[in-house]
Amino acid sequence: MKDLMLAAALFASISACAQDAAFRQKNFNLSGGVGINGYDPVAYFALNKAIKGTKDLAAAFEGVTYYFSSVADKEEFGKHPEKYEPQYGGWCAYAMGKDGSKVEVDPETFKIIDGKLFLFYNRFFNNTLKSWDKDEEGLHHRADANWKKITH
């Protein structure tokens, strides 16, 4: 009986992880399963710079693959992947705060806030980071609430 309960718990855990990975693949901003358009998530924090990673230095976390620019960054990501993932599944933080929409980003337009990575749309003379900065507190609060509606 104890073995049966253990097996059932293990199956439930594996199923939840598979569902989580499928959910993330569906709702995160991915290009061919790759997050942040192939930019190194650790470099944002370590260098305060957006640096393109390489396919040769890839690591996956719960269904999302990230590329890294160095072995050290890949190893660091492996220790605490949730620390380095962008907020709101990698969608534009401003758009998520404004109306909950999933808008593409320019991976080179970003901001680190309280140890978290926020990405922004920046094309056609529309840099949403500038708009975010005008009402960061309000937009941040609304973006958190809107993302929670998507993820729960």
In the chain, domain spans? 27-81, 86-152
pTM above 0.75, yes or no: yes
User: For the chain, how many residues are written?
Assistant: 152
Least confident of 5-14, 53-62, 104-113, 133-142: 5-14
| Structure tokens given for 16 | 């939840």
Identify whether the C-beta of residue 110 lies closer than 8 Å to the C-beta of residue 44.
yes
Query: Parallel, antiparallel, or unpaired for β 64-68 and 54-61?
Result: antiparallel
> Residue 80: exposed, middle, or buried by beta-carbon count in 10 A (0-12, 13-18, 19+)?
exposed
- According to the model, what pLDDT value does residue 20 have? 85
* Bridge partners of residue 113, in order along the sequence: 116
As a whole number, mean pLDDT of residues 14-41 equals 82
Query: Would you state the pLDDT for residue 72?
Result: 98
Tokens read off for 28:
């995160």
DSSP state of 56: E
Pairing of strands 30-31, 34-35: antiparallel
Res 14 pLDDT > 70: no
Residue 13: the pLDDT is 35
Q: How far is CA 129 from the centre of its chain?
A: 17
Q: Positive or negative, the Cα torsion across 73, 78, 84, 89?
A: positive
Instruction: With a cut of 50, say whether residue 132 has pLDDT above it.
Output: yes
